[in-house]
Structure 1
Amino acid sequence: MRRTRALLSQFSTNQLHLRNPWVVTFFAFSYPGFGNLILHRYAKALILILWELFINHQAKINLAIMYTMQGHFQSAKEVIDERWFILYVGIYMFAIWDAYRSTVDINKQYMLADREDAPMITLKMGVWDMNYLDKKLPWVALAWSALVPGLGYLYIHKVISGLFMFGYTTAIVYFSHLPQAIHWMMIGHFEQSKSVINMQWLLYLPSIYTFIFYDSYISTVEQNKLFEKEQSKYLRMYYQASANVEAIFQSAQVKSMKFIVATFEQTVFLEMAITAVERLGITKDKITALPLDKRSEPRKIFDSIHTADGFSMMDLAAVLGTIFMLLGAIYGFELKWGPILWGIIGAVSGILLGFSIKLMILKKNRTGVKGITSEVVVMIQCEEALLEKVEEVLWDHTALGVSRMA
């Protein structure tokens, strides 16, 4: 094979999957380097992110943006440093252009790898850590990222991104004096809160915060899909030989043999069930596993560990959350409650607005069964004496349904 779907290391999972070029471009626009970070191009992302921090700080671009949005045009002219600003423009435009171009190119590579049914590694062990494919809940990754930036990445074992975001956001929070500002705000001293905060540093946070919970969420969704693809390929390779199916149907004519059918969702419990059945003395040629092709249908409204497409509710919510949080922080500096509280209000309002718009769009054509659905059919040929034990094993490993055939 010329391509691979994914590469697992001790510290991260890098994979090919389809991405919306415009969403990636938006995050590159909101913060240079984030577009490449979504694409798992860490070296280029690190260069652009650190360059953005350095040049933006030297040119005071965040302050100039704030004063411009507030209508204080003279203050914007006075605060900006033209020597550094000219250097900023070229890199900023490159980050946007490169994010879009790279996304289109990587999408092509994914489609070719998918058509080749490219192989992938499922487990990587080393001295420092181990990484393996498994299903995780997208909403758990989002919740941890919202609580503390970086924790969502650690939940899905993207240690490199998690470590970087821990350090990066901690530095920005420290230099913005955000903890002191929150303290004064919580006790009702809004003017004191505004006076202590450093807006040049604070205005980095809206783009960073919404990007982190969006990227950790989408990465969880795509890793779940990667797990399903790898498991389906494994089942087709080892438990779908034509001889297996023929032998199983012939067994129905033998009185001493029984035929059991069970359905499962695609999780690690499915493989545990099959290996447990084999330990009872039933060989591979008496087991057939048939992964079901999923029906093409309108996108699901809410992603879960069972069904996920990655583009349902989070893309527009993240985009509007970033914009509204930034505007809330900028205009909140001149309002009574201050930039922190108005930034939070803006973020929540943008996210809820994004959810509402997508809900109205997607709900019109929503079809399909709610909850857990059957994804794999397992057929087992066994002696009548083993029938009860096989059924018990299947139920113990979370089978969705089990049936005997006489």
Structure 2
Amino acid sequence: MRRSRAYLSPFSTNQLHLRNPWVVTFFAFSYPGFGNLILHRYAKALILILWEIFINNQAKVNLAIMYTMQGHFEMAKGIINERWFILYVGIYMYAIWDAYRTTVEINKQYLLADREDAPLVPITMGPWDMNYLDKRVPWVALAWSVLVPGLGHLYVHKVISGLFIFGYTIAIIYFSHLPHAIHFTFVGDFAQAKQIVDMQWFLYLPSIYTFIFYDAYVSAVEQNKLFEKEQSQFLRLNYRKKGLRLSQLLREDKMLVVATFEQSLFLELAITAIEQLGISKRDLHAFPMNKWNEPRKPFDSIHRADGFSMLDSAAILGTCFMLLGAIYGFELKWGPILWGIIGAIAGVALGIVLKLVMMKKTNYGTKKISSEVVLMIQCEANQWEAIKKILWENTALGISTVGEK
């Protein structure tokens, strides 16, 4: 095959999947380099991100933006460094353009790779670490990212991104004096919080924070989908015989056990345990269900990962509202910390509400999908009890039999 859908290394999972070009473009607009980081193009992302923090600090772009939004135009003119600002504009526009263009091209590559259906490697090991496909809860990835930036990426085993995000964010938090500002804010000393916070550094955080939890969430969703694709491919190749007829399944000398499963490693554990009972592979038949046209739920989970993300509009509005809250909060009583938090919560909530309203207007289905794989086992009657025990212990959704005596 010419194209693979994913590459697993001990330190990360780099995969092709469909992305909304405008969402990627927004993150490149909010922080140059993040568009490439979400596309797993780490080398280019690192160059653009480090350039952004260097040139922005030299030109004082963040402070100029803050004073402009507050209406202090003379202060904005006075703070901006024209020599560095001219250099800033060209790279900034390139980052936005490149994020959109690359997303469109990668989407084409994904469609071709998916049609080729190249084999996927489910596990890789090295001397330092191992990486394997498994299902992870998207909302857990989001929660860890909100708690400490970088931990959500480590949860989905994106070690390179997680390490970089953790170190980069901690550095910005340190230089912005955020811990001290949070302390003064929560003891009610808002004037001291405003005085101690460095807004040039602080205004990086709205774009960084919302990107981090969005990317961790989407990475968990897409890795769950990758796990399902690899497992479905494995079952099709090894436990689905071409030309199989119903008459071949219903035999007088054997009973037929039918079980349904959600896609998880428990399914493969059940199959291997049944084979250890002496059941031949030719007597095992697995049928992964095609879920393309089935209605989906709005929220992804460990058992459901169809990629319909609730967080694209939430992340965009959360970034904008958090940035505005921090800017205008600098002149309001409660200060930039509380108003930034209020803006982030309001933006995320508004984004989720808008997505739910859009789904309702388009009659987007919310019916739960239960069974994902049908497993059929031809066995002797005296093997039935052992097989039933194995199936229940490995989270079968339901079991039935044909030809039981």
Q: Distance between the aligned counterparts of 2:96 and 2:364, measured in 1?
A: 34
8 A contact 2:218–2:309 mirrored in 1: no
Q: Deviations over 1:14-73 (max 9, x none)?
A: 000000000000000000000000000000000000000000000000000000000000
Partner of 2:312: 315
Q: Distance between the aligned counterparts of 2:100 and 2:251, measured in 1?
A: 60
Q: For residue 333 of structure 1, what is the amino acid of its counterpart?
A: F
Partner of 1:178: 178
Deviation (angstroms), 1:230 = 0.5
Q: 1:267 aligned to 2:264?
A: yes
Q: Distance between the aligned counterparts of 2:65 and 2:34, measured in 1?
A: 20
Partner of 1:84: helix, strand, or coil? helix
Q: Distance between the aligned counterparts of 2:351 and 2:11, measured in 1?
A: 33
Scaled by the length of structure 2, the TM-score of the pair is: 0.97
Q: Distance between the aligned counterparts of 2:327 and 2:299, measured in 1?
A: 32
8 A contact 2:295–2:367 mirrored in 1: no
Q: 1:64 aligned to 2:78?
A: no
Q: Deviations over 1:256-281 (max 9, x none)?
A: 41110000000010011000000000
Q: Distance between the aligned counterparts of 1:62 and 1:299, measured in 2?
A: 41
Q: Gapped runs of 5+ residues in structure 2?
A: none
Partner of 2:18: 18
Partner of 1:140: 140
Partner of 2:30: 30
Could you tell me the percent identity over the aligned residues? Answer: 71
Q: Deviations over 1:328-365 (max 9, x none)?
A: 00000000000000000000000000000001111341
Partner of 1:242: helix, strand, or coil? coil
| Cα 1:280/1:298, change in 2 over 3 Å | closer
Q: For residue 334 of structure 1, what is the amino acid of its counterpart?
A: E
The match for 1:369 among 343, 367, 370 is 367
Q: Alignment length, in residue pairs?
A: 402
Structure 1 residues 332-371: aligned runs within 5 Å: 332-364=329-361, 365-370=363-368
Partner of 2:213: 213
Q: Deviations over 1:219-244 (max 9, x none)?
A: 0000000000000000000000137x
The match for 1:276 among 273, 277, 287 is 273
Partner of 2:289: 292
Partner of 1:378: helix, strand, or coil? strand
Q: For residue 367 of structure 2, what is the amino acid of its counterpart?
A: V
Q: Distance between the aligned counterparts of 2:63 and 2:364, measured in 1?
A: 45
The match for 2:379 among 378, 382, 405 is 382
Q: Gapped runs of 5+ residues in structure 1?
A: none
Partner of 1:253: 251
Judge which range, 289-298 or 153-162, deviates more. Answer: 289-298
8 A contact 1:300–1:312 mirrored in 2: no
Deviation (angstroms), 1:252 = 2.8
Q: Distance between the aligned counterparts of 2:72 and 2:294, measured in 1?
A: 50
Q: Distance between the aligned counterparts of 2:249 and 2:9, measured in 1?
A: 45
Partner of 1:201: 201
Q: Distance between the aligned counterparts of 2:329 and 2:367, measured in 1?
A: 44
Partner of 1:157: 157
Deviation (angstroms), 1:295 = 4.3
Q: Distance between the aligned counterparts of 1:323 and 1:334, measured in 2?
A: 18
Q: Distance between the aligned counterparts of 1:298 and 1:96, measured in 2?
A: 34
Judge which range, 304-313 or 377-386, deviates more. Answer: 304-313
Q: For residue 251 of structure 2, what is the amino acid of its counterpart?
A: Q
8 A contact 2:261–2:267 mirrored in 1: yes
Q: Distance between the aligned counterparts of 1:166 and 1:119, measured in 2?
A: 33
Q: For residue 348 of structure 2, what is the amino acid of its counterpart?
A: I
Deviation (angstroms), 1:368 = 4.7
Moved over 6 A (4+): none
Q: For residue 369 of structure 1, what is the amino acid of its counterpart?
A: K
Q: Distance between the aligned counterparts of 1:298 and 1:66, measured in 2?
A: 45
Q: 1:87 aligned to 2:87?
A: yes
Partner of 2:395: 398
Q: Distance between the aligned counterparts of 1:357 and 1:48, measured in 2?
A: 32
| Cα 1:75/1:299, change in 2 over 3 Å | farther
Q: Distance between the aligned counterparts of 1:297 and 1:68, measured in 2?
A: 49
Partner of 1:290: helix, strand, or coil? strand
8 A contact 2:27–2:211 mirrored in 1: yes
Q: Distance between the aligned counterparts of 1:22 and 1:251, measured in 2?
A: 50
